[in-house]
Structure 1
């Protein structure tokens, strides 16, 4: 049995068939009535019935049969009447019998055709591509799914050779597959085909061999299922699994695959939330080790095997209890995190190698979400032995560096002490020499001697205060903060440097605005800053011909800041030296230590102020010091 045509003709074809069937019946009737032919002309009515049967309508067959039978009887009556029953009557009966037999056969064929058409319509409803090819591999049926998937309509596909149309690629030789089909009547496999647009698709195909009534093969029914996306998804899954396996095996991080589904069941049976589990574990510390075997290790990568000295994954799994320190509570936290639904848990612990040596490790246990998440728990382990060793080495290096820093700091402090104490000591020496000169006179001037001794005592006390401030600094004691009038500090500082400046013929001019608010700070430290700036200004002009003038001004820079400037008439500062002027140990003076300005800036900044310098070569240098007023006395 073969599949019938996929569609009946259009209605106009049925109308034409009906017309020609009726015309032929009328022609046979006229020939039978009007001609003297004695043959069974009425038998030709069979052709009219067959034409009507081509409409594939049962009603048309019945109408044609009834009409032809009626015409046969009418023609007999008109030609022969009912006077005698002879051979014409027998011929009429033969014609009627032929009409009846033809009608029955036509109706049976119509029923069979309708049954096959119904089957074809069912095949068109299938989501699979279905087509029929004869023994010559020519397509005789092509369903709707085949049209949609392959792109060829039924009219385009019918009559084409299937393998040529679809460019089918088989997994085996075509003749071998055909021989198996003839032997068993069926074949299944996966083939590659191409659509009308040239796209390659993969299909699962099932062939069924059709036989005629003599059991001879006449056609093949092919059912195809498009599995292109499934094959691509499977290929992607296989490739992903292959990549994961490569990473799993090649990773230098230890990885263990674990199944915690039985552990989940055990925790569910306890009916405890995270807090309840913590309490349960604190009251039953051995509970973890009782349920730990329920967390089954399914695989271990080579890096983790090597980390603990195991020769294989099975050896690692068999000795897992020996690798964990029972006194370590880190894994208890992992159990609680698992019960609370956390996505992961990480910590630091130690593993015990099979040779007994302990190794420090960082670990992360990942708990994937989803129905199969408990079966795919991953534990990542990183050996941090080298990091621990590096940390120990770093700590040792830091200790050495701290020692070196202390030595360097001691050197800087020594330089600072020498610099700060040098000025009062120099003043003491100068005053002492002056006193000796007054005593060596023929008539000693005791008043001058007393004055110089007072200077010696004052400078000695100042040196003691400087040393006391440095000791306070070394002990990290809070700096002394007093309410200070800047005019008093300036007066004390200028008196300390008066002899030094006079010795170098330097004229000091002081300009202080009236009514300046007080500042808060350390009197000795700020006094020392001004002394440093004034001494530096005087030394900058030593050896210079012409006038030597240092101008000290104090005034309001802004509503909340006090500004003090020290300006000299010396050669100024070279542009290359200006950026490094406040760096420790940088100096432009012969025999200078390079600590004065560095200490001065640090002192000013400790008081919340700023110290800067500006200079135009040949026009002297100006140092600008700003200090904040005490908040309760700041100007509005």
Structure 2
């Protein structure tokens, strides 16, 4: 019934009791029935309604007594009126106390409804007596649907401990906490952290349980995912054949932040202060080493590896400097090569990649991946040896192709020597020998002999099979030597060689013979492309700078050019466009140039012959340790 309805019926009942008390001859304490009207007014839960009803009933009780009895005679009617007034007063007092208690309980219930946790109260039989708003939202049942239901049956509660043990602990201590699994109205499973509090009456008898539940479903899912991820990481860490080191670089970050480099760049400062680099490497503490790296180093365990890390990496290892710079500059990865000194003294060449995580506290989880490249190094050495053998064979074959030119070059100084010798003999056979002319002739003989010796030396050097040398070379000298080797071959085919070089080109670093062979091959190929064809035959060799950092050499011919379909395969081994060609010359040239840090490419516009572009980085003086 609404509040207005309760007020109306309370007023109607009050007026009816008044009429009965005044108009009927009943002698009983009819006014006591006013208590019912006050109780109806109390149902509105309004303090003012209770007071108004009590005052009205008291006034009507007195009025009815005055209208029905003589006020001068104090007899039993007066006592009945006083009893009615006492009953009205006591009922009013109790109603007001109940209203205050109800108000306090309502305030507490409102507080419970404000909680983000699911809260409900059940009696000792497990029947729900209170169900807060968070429980309605989380479980899906309204308070009207939940109250009166058995909690475990409604929520299909799954206990991870024995239910009897939980109840025993609750009765002993008055509290219990643990993890439960419950179901919503829609059937979804919820993981909850439960906190139970036992309520007792004034005699200490258990009367109910307050259950507070916190939904931790997402937290449990995240924890389970984290555990699974950790397990996967551990399996990969332990089972990987790649060496893995887990390190903590937080102390390194602190040391770098406190570093004052002034106007000097960080890399230059670290290069000039190797002591700080060694100190920083010791600050990068190793937290774990996987079995693959332990085996690579010959260590009996991670503890042995960590204890001997300085000896394993070597005191003069410079690879950490680059990693330190990359870490300071915020790069996510750093790669490099170094040698790992195993426990038995072997040097193990390794390729390493350091990963610097970007997330907060990532400095504590720096991973270094290490790969043993011993077999790759051996394969590279074998490949270089085979390449050297093949290059030597190519040089021999090249000289074989222009052996007539070599014979002509050597024959010229020999013929000059013979001519000068005969002239000298004639000067000596005169009646009066002309010693001045003889001396001049002998000088010619010596000069031509030296020329012949230089020709032979140059050819022997070109043919010499020696390991590559990394020297600072003047490119104009290499070009001059290469053109002298093939000059006769070009003249024979009526080919004009035009050389255009910038003045004062910086030196390049590399192997003289290998670079000489590249130019010889390119010039010979240009000459052969035009041999036997009508028209003017011209080979133009240009040397200059590009981008201020690289040497650029171009070899351009005026021949027919290269077919578009052949351009993509021109540098492939064993591919040739010449009858009887081996198909190795250009492949060796490109490999040689790339080994020197350069590039070799070709272009052939229609009607413009072929142009080979060769770039090499300028050489730098080696820094002395």
Question: Which band: TM-score by shorter chain?
Answer: 0.5 to 0.7
Residue number among 279, 285, 297 corresponding to 2:286 in the alignment? 297
CA contact (8 A) 1:274 1:339 kept: no
Partner of 1:126: 115
Q: Structure 1 pair 243/394, CA: closer, same or farther in 2 (3 Å)?
A: same
CA contact (8 A) 1:482 1:523 kept: no
* CA distance in 2 between partners of 1:524 and 1:189 (Å): 90
Q: Who is 2:104 aligned against?
A: 115
The residue number in structure 1 matching 2:86 is: 97
In structure 1, the residue corresponding to 2:2 is in which secondary structure? helix
Deviation of 1:221 (Å):
1.1
Relative to structure 1, the CA distance from residue 525 to residue 78 in structure 2 (aligned partners, 3 Å threshold; closer, same or farther) is closer
Long gaps (5+) in structure 2: 404-484, 498-525, 535-557, 561-576, 582-601, 610-625
- 1:396 pairs with 2:385: yes
Q: What are the superposed Cα offsets for residues 46-74 of structure 1, whole Å, 9 maximum, x if unpaired?
A: 11111111111111111111111111111
Check conservation: 2:194, 2:213, Cα contact below 8 A.
yes
Q: Deviations over 1:367-420 (max 9, x none)?
A: 222431221121111110011111122233334555676788899999xxxxxx
Equivalence for 1:148: 137
**1:240 aligned residue:** 229
Alignment of 1:454-469 (within 5 A): none
Contact kept, 8 Å, 1:201 with 1:226, in 2: the verdict is yes
Contact 1:205 1:223 survives alignment (8 Å): yes
Structure 1 length normalisation: TM-score?
0.64
Q: Is the 8 A contact 1:256 1:297 kept in 2?
A: yes
- CA–CA separation in structure 1 for the residues paired with 2:319 and 2:608: 56
Structure 1 pair 17/197, CA: closer, same or farther in 2 (3 Å)?
same
Map Cα deviations across residues 531-589 of structure 1 (whole Å, 9 max, x no partner): xxxxxxxxxxxxxxxxxxxxxxxxxxxxxx999xxxxxxxxxxxxxxxxxx98479xxx
Instruction: For residue 230 of structure 1, give the secondary structure of its aligned residue in structure 2.
Output: helix
* Aligned partner of residue 222 in structure 2, secondary structure: helix
Q: Is the 1:273–1:339 Cα contact (8 Å) retained in structure 2?
A: no
2:310 is paired with a residue of what secondary structure? helix
- 2:146 maps to which of 139, 143, 157: 157
Q: Which residue of 2 aligns with 1:288?
A: 277
Corresponding pairs, count: 444
Q: 1:477 to 1:257 in 2, by over 3 A?
A: farther
Gaps of 5+ in 1: 1-11, 415-470, 484-521, 531-560, 564-581, 587-605, 611-625, 629-636
Structure 2 residue aligned with 1:231, among 211, 220, 239?
A: 220
Rg (Cα) greater in structure = 1
Q: Distance in 2 between matches of 1:23 and 1:65?
A: 14
Where 2:158 maps in the other structure, the secondary structure is coil
Aligned residue among 245, 261, 271 for 1:256: 245
The answer on whether the counterparts of 1:134 and 1:219 sit within 8 Å (CA) in structure 2 is yes
Q: 2:295 aligns with which of 306, 320, 332?
A: 306
Q: Which moved more, 1:405-414 or 1:62-71?
A: 405-414
d(CA) in 2 for partners of 1:365, 1:54: 76
Q: Within 2, Cα distance between the matches of 1:609 and 1:103?
A: 114
Q: Are the structure 2 counterparts of residues 21 and 523 from structure 1 closer, same or farther at C-alpha, using a change threshold of 3 Å?
A: closer
SS of 2:274 mapped into structure 1: coil
Equivalent in the alignment of 1:384: 373
Structure 1 residues 152 and 474, CA, compared in 2 at 3 Å: closer, same or farther? farther
TM-score, length-normalised on structure 2?
0.65
Q: Give the whole-Å Cα distance in 1 for the aligned partners of 2:559 and 2:580.
A: 29
1:212 positional shift: 2.0
Who is 1:320 aligned against? 309
Distance 1:183 1:525, change over 3 A: closer
Matches within 5 A, 1:22-421: 22-272=11-261, 275-402=264-391
User: Does the Cα contact within 8 Å between 2:294 and 2:305 map onto a contact in 1?
Assistant: yes
How far does residue 19 in structure 1 lie from its aligned partner after superposition?
1.9
Do the aligned partners of 1:274 and 1:336 also contact (CA within 8 Å) in 2? no
Assess if the C-alpha contact under 8 Å between 2:530 and 2:559 holds in 1: no
> Is the 1:129–1:145 contact (alpha carbons within 8 Å) kept by the matching residues of 2?
yes
Taking the aligned partners of 1:230 and 1:296, their CA distance within structure 2 comes to 32
Residue in 1 aligned with 2:509? Answer: none
Q: What's the CA shift for 1:172?
A: 1.3
Q: Deviations over 1:504-539 (max 9, x none)?
A: xxxxxxxxxxxxxxxxxx999979468xxxxxxxxx
Specify which of 2, 12, 16 is matched with residue 13 of structure 1.
2
Residues of 2 paired with 1:234 and 1:314: CA distance?
30
Name which of structure 1's ranges 377-386 and 280-289 shifts more when overlaid on structure 2. Answer: 280-289
When residues 525 and 272 of structure 1 are mapped into structure 2, their CA distance, relative to the original with a 3 A threshold, is: closer
Q: Deviations over 1:228-285 (max 9, x none)?
A: 1111111111111111111111111111111122222223222237944434434433
- Measured against aligned partners, the alpha-carbon deviations of 1:104-128 in whole angstroms (never above 9, x if no partner) come to 0000000000000001011111111
* TM-align CA RMSD: 3.5
* Residues 1:402 and 1:93: Cα distance change in structure 2 (over 3 Å): same
